[in-house]
Chains A and B, each alone.
Chain A
Amino acid sequence: MAAHDQGDTWRFVSSRITAEELRISFAGDWSLNQHLPDAEVLAAELGATIHRLGFATDDLLGWDTGFLAILTALFKICAAKGIIVDQSGLPKGVQHLLALAAAVPEQEGAGRDQGRPPLLHQVGTVTIDYFHGLPAMLHFLGELILSLGRLLIGRAQFQFSDLWWEIQEVGPKALGIVSVICFLVGLILAYLGADQLRMAGAQIYIADLVAIGMLREMGAMMTGIIIAGRTGAAFAAQLGTMQVNEEIDAFKTMGISPIDYLVMPRMLALLLMMPILTLYASFIGILAGMLIATTIFHIGVFEYYTETVRALALKHFLVGLSKGTVYGAMVAYAGCLRGMQCGRSAEAVGEAATSAVVTAILLITISASLMTIIYYQLGI
């Protein structure tokens, strides 16, 4: 026999009718705003010998779905213990709502994931999934190549108006952020050079460091990363949303290849704009370097200019442009891949965008290292 009263308005008393039968009498207000207990508090009253459970609710003043949730949980515990529950003591409304909730049995197999596994397990799963994703990545690459082939022989369902629209989205609208970031990178390079070269008394070579550094590496790299965050994520989110809305399915059932129609214009737009953006980025960086060198480190403008022009060999242009183009391809590939792989929920769209950026930066870094090694070996 037990009585509970924590000062809240909900109360219950449990009493043994017989050695086998327990009755719980609810009293007071069992509403959600009354700091309701969980079902364990009630279940604690169920001794080992109990086989039947009944209820009394004469003093029950109020209840809402919170009460129902507790009861449902309690019934589950009873079912597990083999205790027979007699609901007749409950108010009619409670019985009806409980019956409604029980009308559709729990779908076995539908809630397939058994909660969240531990963190280490999750990390492992994510890593393994990443490698399991490789065949899909190659498959997508194959589809892209086929689509490009169709485009070249003029059999693709390709919309030049879409290409034009994407070019505007990708190129001009990125100029602002590219300018800011590459200006600052040029500034950093100039300071770095000034500090290192001062010891050798050769500060004029700041010009070489900034020019070659921007053109060969930093222009393309920074643009690639900006575009990954800006455009890659946008591609993934756009295509992902279309996946959620079944728009991509609608294309497929109409026999219109979503790769031709949606992915190709985006790929080509990036491939066309990236070299231009890279050049622009390098130019801004070099300009910033010149500004710093001439104002802070008192190098003559003409001197600096001549040294820069001398440093800018054609091969550096080619290296920068090729890197920019490859990074652009990587960003477009990652963005479109993750968008097309997107699941069917708002959450999946978010994941697709995140994953697009991560994949793009990974691919950019890998291809940057490869190209650096190759160009070094070739002596370019």
Chain B
Amino acid sequence: MQGAAPIEVRDLTVAFGDFVVQRELNFTVAKGDIFVIMGGSGCGKSTLMRALIGLQRPTQGTVLYDGEDFWNAAPERQEQLKRRLGVMFQSGALWSSLTLAENIALPLTEYTTLPPRLISEIVSFKLALVGLAGFERLYPSELSGGMKKRAGLARAIALDPEILIIDEPSSGLDPLTARRLDDLIVELRDSLGTTIIVISHELASILGIGSNSIFLDGETHTMIATGNPQEARRSGPTQVRNFLSRGSL
């Protein structure tokens, strides 16, 4: 479908049994957006992400990819739609029995017919992008928390996905590395046209790179604001302004 947004969320409700985490979410992510999902710890950001990437069926509503209903599509079609996504999990989720290089090479060997030499060159390049050049042969258990996250990002961008979904890239990183990662995200958008969804509560990064956002509220269990984070800080609802100025209102 031409003109449809890469991602549109309609009336989405996610719950664990009777416990509704977030209800009736509606938002659209435009092509080339760096879309920030904000909200306090435990408000349901990661759960929303699981509904976006096909891991947790919403109790209501759906997600549209380029206008195509994901949750009501056939399983084979869902697999195809998922191939457009690159996902970095909050914990990194690296495959523990594989080295870093193998982790990043796996999607490449599964979905491309590139020669092994080229694959290993791509792997080294992706690791260099996230500042992990030379760590190819280490196992995930030999990495620090922040390194795991960066390696997770390298794996998420292994196939140059159309849509990149990142769960808290910069938490646990020092300010300089976090900044470098932000630059990388912006660069991916600018030069490859990747649409990016970032879950974050890192203020500098939300305000610095976000072009659009939603704010999930943990008390009312729904979204209470949407729009450009800079504007939200100036003229959003009190909770959002409070959040975006570290509660110094």
Contacts and interface: CB of A to CB of B under 8 A. Distances in A.
A245 B19 contact: no
Nearest to B89: A246
Contact of B96 (A242, A252, A256): A242
B19 A112 contact: yes
A38 to B, nearest CB: 29
Contact of A245 (B83, B93, B110, B155): B93
Nearest to A254: B107
Interface string A219-259: 00000000000000000000001100111011111111000
B42 interface: yes
A157 interface: yes
Interface string B106-131: 11001100000000000000000000
B87 A245 contact: no
A245 B139 CA distance: 14
B92 to A, nearest CB: 8
Interface in B194-219: 218-219
A128 interface: no
B95 A241 contact: no
Given A107-B42, A110-B19, A255-B79, A250 B95 contact: yes
Contacts of B82: 253-255
Contacts, number: 59
A136 to B, nearest CB: 15
A241 B55 contact: no
A112 B17 contact: yes
Given A105-B219, A107-B42, A256-B110, A250 B93 contact: yes
Contacts of A112: 17-19
Which bucket holds chain A's interface residue count? 10 to 19
A251 B107 CA distance: 9
B54 A252 contact: yes
B19 A109 contact: yes
Nearest to B140: A245
Contacts of B91: 245-246
A221 B19 CA distance: 45
Contacts of A246: 89-91, 93
Interface in B67-85: 79, 82-83, 85
Given A110-B19, A253-B55, A253-B87, A247 B94 contact: yes
Contacts of A251: 95
Interface string A120-160: 00000000000000000000000000000000000001000
B173 interface: no
Contacts of B111: 255
Given A157-B110, A242-B96, A252 B19 contact: no
B53 interface: yes
Q: How large is the interface on B (under 10, 10 to 19, 20 to 34, 35 or more residues)?
A: 20 to 34
B218 to A, nearest CB: 8
B96 A241 contact: yes
Nearest to B107: A254
Contacts of A110: 19, 42
Contact of B55 (A157, A242, A249): A249
Interface in A243-302: 245-247, 249-256
Contacts of A247: 93-96
A291 B173 CA distance: 66
A198 to B, nearest CB: 55
Contacts of A109: 18-20
Interface in A99-123: 105, 107, 109-110, 112
B57 to A, nearest CB: 13
Nearest to B43: A107
Contacts of B79: 255
A254 B94 contact: no
Contacts of B55: 249, 252-253
Interface in B146-201: 155
B83 A250 contact: no
A154 B82 CA distance: 23
B53 A253 contact: yes
Contacts of A249: 50, 55, 89, 93
Contacts of A252: 54-55
Contacts of B93: 245-247, 249-250
Contacts of A250: 87, 89, 93-95, 155
A92 B89 CA distance: 42
A241 B95 CA distance: 11
Contacts of B50: 249
A255 to B, nearest CB: 5
A157 B111 CA distance: 11
Nearest 5 CB-CB pairings of A with B: A246-B93, A250-B93, A246-B89, A109-B19, A253-B87
Given A245-B93, A253-B87, 20 more contacts: A107-B42, A107-B218, A109-B18, A110-B42, A241-B96, A242-B95, A242-B96, A245-B92, A245-B94, A246-B90, A246-B93, A247-B94, A249-B89, A250-B87, A252-B54, A253-B55, A255-B79, A255-B111, A256-B107, A256-B110
12 contacts: A112-B17, A112-B19, A241-B96, A245-B94, A246-B91, A247-B95, A250-B87, A250-B89, A252-B54, A253-B85, A256-B107, A256-B110
